[in-house]
Amino acid sequence: MSLNRRDFIKKSGLAALGVAAATTACVRPENAREKFSEQRTQRFNMHGYAAPAIETVRVGFIGVGNRGSGAVARVNALEGVEIKAICDLEESAIDRTLNRLRQRGGELPQVEKYHGSEDVWKELCDRDDIDLVIISTPWHLHAPQCVYAMNSGKHVATEIPAARTIDECWQLVEASERNRKHCFQMTNVCYSFFEMVTLNMARSGFLGEIVHGDGAYIHQLIGSNFNKNGYHNMWRLRENYSRNGNLYPHHGLGTIAQIMDINHGDRLDYMVSVSSNDFMMQKRAAELAEEDSFFKEFTGKSYRGNMNTSIIRTEMGRTIMLQHDVTSPRPYSRIHQISGTKAIARAYPVRQIANSYGGWFSDAQFAKIEQEYTPEITRRAGEMARQVGGHGGMDSLLMWRLIDCLRNGIPLDMNVYDAATWSAVIPISEHSVANEGIPIDFPDFTAGAWRSNKPGMDIQLEKGGTTKFAIRS
């Protein structure tokens, strides 16, 4: 990774020829694109892998803070599961989670608690009576905990991102393939009801050939990130001054990747990424430090740019635009815009569908199309998922589908290659930003199997769909 844009221009002689001459030639030398790692041999193809069915899925949780506590409640609302153990650094977090279940009524699981030390989570993973470990800890712990759990013979489901470096991405792939254990990244937006409608529209041919997708994570979180009673040890704020790139690409990328058949028919080829300056976070840290000495530690830092924009080209010639902005006072948006040769669909600021002539359909036409392309997974379990809750029901639908796949012994909708590929956007964007937007190649975590892998995410429930919501909590 030693060649940057300036070095390339100097070494190739383009500085002497002039940029115009280089542009006229329309030739991009291969070594203008950097690679993080060479291709590795696939041990076993986890795409389409059906692990042995588990009649009652025994679950252990690591981390029950902002996200993990809700995950416990959603799992406890399903039949065919048994919560065996819960781990958190603080025992009080475990007790709050159990009290939350108690207040909702219903059967309270008898669980063993693990707490009090940084490595106590390993004891949970070492148990022989757990099938699935669900991880909701700070980002830097996700990959190490996933790898350890898989090496201990457990399937894993982790909050996003599954990994923060390319090496960690490869560690996930190798552990999953070696142990033949699922590594499921809990990208809940892939189970958002309208995103699944657009996926069904794409697969049914309504949109024509897919040309381009826009996605984003635009979410005003500056207050949350600077809340000293929010994230443990201010871990999320620390991420924002230690890294500069797209730190959270999954919400924008997930469904687009499914629509474009990434890792099963197409693959992410290369990406360029640029960031604005930081116009807000350093200023906010200084303001808070004047009122509270606690925040002095967070002044004088090199915070990431407020807006990151990344452009990806796929092997089959499609393009994707991703944005990341968690500081600006912009309304929440994932953008989610899918452009095809016959039609276009988008979700923000309002859900709309247009035909190939660029005319937006009326409300009545939209409602008819949405109803027609609502997939079976939503018809079967969507209403109950809404009742259980979690981002309008998509959190519960994700958990229902994960447990249902494990109980029925069928492939998961998303596998370790999705977890690695989508997470790789983070380090690739960082390096591209640091080198003035130089193109960076994506590793092929499937080792070429993307060419023959069948489409992922079974939204039509060709198999499974038998698990019920027990509403035990």
Domain of residue 19 covers 1-25+32-36
Asked if residue 317 belongs to a domain, the reply is yes
Asked if residue 269 belongs to a domain, the reply is yes
> How far is residue 320's CA from residue 213's CA, in Å, rounded to a whole number?
5
Contacts of 84 (CB under 8 A, 6+ apart): 58, 59, 60, 111, 112, 127, 129, 130
What residues of the chain score a pLDDT lower than 50?
1-3, 5-6, 8-29, 473
Look at residue 470 in the predicted model and tell me its pLDDT: 82
Look at residue 234 in the predicted model and tell me its pLDDT: 96
Residue 241 is classified by DSSP as: H
Look at residue 344 in the predicted model and tell me its pLDDT: 96
Look at residue 3 in the predicted model and tell me its pLDDT: 44
Q: Indicate the number of domains in the chain.
A: 2
> How far is residue 413's CA from residue 397's CA, in Å, rounded to a whole number?
12
Look at residue 346 in the predicted model and tell me its pLDDT: 96
Look at residue 324 in the predicted model and tell me its pLDDT: 98
Look at residue 35 in the predicted model and tell me its pLDDT: 77
Look at residue 235 in the predicted model and tell me its pLDDT: 95
Look at residue 108 in the predicted model and tell me its pLDDT: 73
Look at residue 37 in the predicted model and tell me its pLDDT: 63
What is the pTM assigned to this prediction? Answer: 0.92
Asked if residue 62 belongs to a domain, the reply is no
Look at residue 30 in the predicted model and tell me its pLDDT: 53
Asked if residue 346 belongs to a domain, the reply is yes
Look at residue 166 in the predicted model and tell me its pLDDT: 96
Asked if residue 218 belongs to a domain, the reply is yes
Kindly report the backbone phi and psi dihedral angles of residue 52, in degrees, each rounded to the nearest multiple of 5, phi listed first: -55, 140
Asked if residue 51 belongs to a domain, the reply is no
> How far is residue 53's CA from residue 401's CA, in Å, rounded to a whole number?
14
Asked if residue 435 belongs to a domain, the reply is yes
The tokens describing 281, both together, are: 């976070």
Asked if residue 320 belongs to a domain, the reply is yes
182-232, pLDDT tens digit by residue? 999 999 999 999 999 999 999 999 999 999 999 999 999 999 999 998 999
> How far is residue 211's CA from residue 314's CA, in Å, rounded to a whole number?
10
